[in-house]
Amino acid sequence: MNTDSPPNNQVIVYWALWSAILAGMISLQFLHGGGFPKGQDAENPPQGFFLFCVAAVAIATVVRWILIPKAKERGKLLVLMILGLALIDGAQIIQLFLIGNDFPQKQLIVFVLCIFGAAQFAPFYASKIVSADSAQMASPRR
């Protein structure tokens, strides 16, 4: 990011990335997955991929609520935001391709977790860090 651009333009970048990733997740579910999964799970669903997806969303939640508030620089904030969204997007892709259509209830649980997980990354926090960072750059250095 250009450090000379106004803070509002930099915040728009965060919102554009977040909205593009969220829209991509929803589009992928409806275009490739055929919408919301329906039906009953087959007997004895494998838990490995499901637990991996839940763990990825849980790690992303830790990133959002513990690491992002500690970030004091724009670069670190952007990296943490993309890391968290990538974990959630990865869980979404695993839900579509590896859990399988035989387990629609597990797919639906993971899809809902991913949507709520991505929603928590809405970059309301970006304006505080970007404006604080810009104010620090504007002050004269000794």
Closest listed residue to residue 77, CA positions, set 38, 42, 27, 127: 127
CA distance 103 to 118: 23
- Tell me the average pLDDT across 77-96: 95
pLDDT score of 39: 85
pLDDT category of residue 137 using cuts at 50, 70 and 90:
low
Query: Structural domain boundaries of the chain?
Result: 8-34+46-129
Bigger pLDDT: 126 vs 113: 113
pLDDT score of 102: 85
pLDDT score of 136: 56
In the chain, the percentage of residues whose pLDDT exceeds 70 is 86
Bigger pLDDT: 133 vs 95: 95
Length, in residues, of the chain? 142
- Tell me the average pLDDT across 121-134: 76
